[in-house]
Amino acid sequence: MKKILLTGGSGLVGQALTRALLQKGYEVAWLSRNARKGDIVPTFLWNWEKGMIDPKAFDGVTHIVHLAGANIASHRWTNSYKKKIADSRIETTKLLLEKVKKYDVSLESFVASSAIGYYGTFTSDETLTETSLKGNDFLAEVCEKWENASLQFANELNIRTVCLRTGIVLAKEGGAFPKMLQPTSWGLGSVVGNGKQYMPWIHINDLVAIYVRALEDTTMHGAYNATAPEPTTNKDFTQNLAKALHTKIYLPNVPAFVLKLFLGKRADLLTKGTFVAPKKLQIEGFQHKYECPALAGGHHYRSAPLPVRLSRRRGTGVEGLHGGTRGVCCGGAALHQWLQRGSLSFGVPLFRKDRCGASADLRRVPACP
C-alpha cells in the first residue's frame, strides 16, 4: 500500500485531499505541531523552527505532499510576518529534504504546493502560462525560492517532483468563497476596485484531483498552474454570484485606496490579477469538472463528488470530516442548490477522540439527483 505523508493536512486543501486519498485506499499520515495517537489519520509531531520531525513519521512513506505555509491574507505584512510567510514554506521544505536524506526515505514523489503569486501581482490582459516570466514582488520571490527548495528533491535525490501553482481555491467550507458569499447574500456585496482584475481560481474538487494525479502519474514533473481554464474578472464573478443568490449588487465599488488603507500591501491580492492558464495540465489531458467559476457567465452544471473537510463542530470541540454541499458550478440554479444542501453522517469515527475526549464523525454529502 502506498503511504502519503502530508504537511498542512488540517487546512482546507489538506482535509479534502486526505478524504480523497483515504477513499482511494491510500494510507495517510500528517505532520503537525500537535501529535495525536490512535487516529485513523495518524499525526506525528514536527517543529520546523526547531528543525525537528518525529522519525516515525517517515516509516513506510512513499510520497510526501507538502501543503504547509503561513496564511498570506490573515495578517498585515510586517517585516516579521513576511519572514514567517517565507520561512514557513522555504525552511519547511529544506527540513523535509534534510530528514528524507537522514532517514534514507525511499520516496517515489514529492508534490508541493506553490502559488500563482510566482508571476507577480498585477493586472493585464496577458495570459500567463508555466513558461511566463517570474514576477519581481514579494510573493514572486517567495514562490521562486519555495519551488527551488522543492526541486532539490529532484536535483539531489532524483525524486520526481511536482509544484502546483495554485489560484484562489473555491470551496463552501472555507477559504475565500464564504467571505464573498455572506455579504453578497445580505445584499452587501460589491465589486473590488474597478472590477477588471482577473481572479485565477480553482474548484477544490479539481484541485484535489490534480494532487491525486500528481501522485499517480509518473510523467508529471516540474511546475504546473493549478487553475481553471476559463478566466473571470472580479466584476463578473461578483455580479453572477449575486444573481445566483437572487439578489443584486447595490453598493458602489470598493475603492482600491480604501483597501490599501486598511490592508496595506495585502490589498493587491484583491485589486490586481491576471489570467493564469493551466496550459500543461490541458496539454497532458487533465479534464476539469468545473471549467467556469461560480456563475462566470455559463449555464453548465458539472457535478462531481465533493471531498469533505476536517473541521471543529461549533460548540463541541469535536473534530471530524464534514461535508458541505456540492461545489461551485456554472448556472444560478445549480449554485443555489449547492448553497442549500446539507450533509449526512457516515457514523464512522475519523479520530477516535479529540483533545476534549469527544469522538467525531466521518461525514459526506448526499449525491445530487
Q: pLDDT tens digits for 171-198?
A: 777 666 666 766 677 666 777 878 888 8
pLDDT tens readout for residues 15-72: 999 999 999 999 999 999 886 665 679 999 999 999 999 999 999 999 999 999 988 8
Q: What is the pLDDT of residue 363?
A: 28
Q: What is the pLDDT of residue 42?
A: 92
Cβ-contact 29, 62 below 8 angstroms: no
Predicted confidence band at 368 (pLDDT cuts at 50, 70, 90)? Answer: very low
**Selecting from 3.90.920.10, 3.90.1310.10, 1.10.10.60, 3.40.50.720, what CATH number does the domain 3-364 have?**
3.40.50.720
Residue 337 C-alpha from the chain's centroid:
23
For residues 360 and 219, the model is more confident at 219
- Give the Cβ contact number of residue 248 at 10 Å: 12
Inform me whether the pLDDT recorded for 5 exceeds 70.
Answer: yes
Q: How would you label 317-346 residue by residue, b for 16+ Cβ within 10 Å and e otherwise?
A: ebbbbbbbbbbbbbbbebbebbbeeebeee
Predicted confidence band at 267 (pLDDT cuts at 50, 70, 90)? Answer: low
- Give the Cβ contact number of residue 356 at 10 Å: 10
Mean pLDDT confidence for 73-77 = 80
Inform me whether the pLDDT recorded for 320 exceeds 50.
Answer: no
Q: How would you label 6-37 residue by residue, b for 16+ Cβ within 10 Å and e otherwise?
A: bbbbbbbbbbbbbbbbbeeebbbbbbbeebbe
Q: What is the pLDDT of residue 40?
A: 76
Q: What is the pLDDT of residue 284?
A: 96
Q: What is the pLDDT of residue 296?
A: 30
Which residues, in sequence order, are bridge partners of residue 198?
Answer: 233
The C-alpha cell at 356 is 476534549
pLDDT tens readout for residues 198-212: 888 899 999 999 999
Q: What is the pLDDT of residue 227?
A: 94
- Kindly list the distances between the CA atom of residue 332 and the CA atoms of 22, 239, 242, 339, 369, in Å, as whole numbers in the listed order: 32, 11, 9, 11, 17
If you average pLDDT over every residue of the chain, what do you get? 77
Q: What is the pLDDT of residue 314?
A: 32
Locate cell 520531525: which residue?
A: 53
For residues 73 and 144, the model is more confident at 144
Q: Among 226-240, 260-274, 277-291, name the one with the lowest average pLDDT.
A: 260-274
Predicted confidence band at 241 (pLDDT cuts at 50, 70, 90)? Answer: confident
pLDDT-above-90 percentage for the chain: 48
pLDDT tens readout for residues 152-177: 999 999 999 999 999 989 877 766 66
Q: What is the pLDDT of residue 259?
A: 67
- Range among 100-109, 237-246, 291-300 rated most confident: 100-109
φ, ψ for residue 100, nearest 5 deg: -60, -40
Q: How would you label 261-270 residue by residue, b for 16+ Cβ within 10 Å and e otherwise?
A: eebeebbbbb
φ, ψ for residue 319, nearest 5 deg: -110, 135
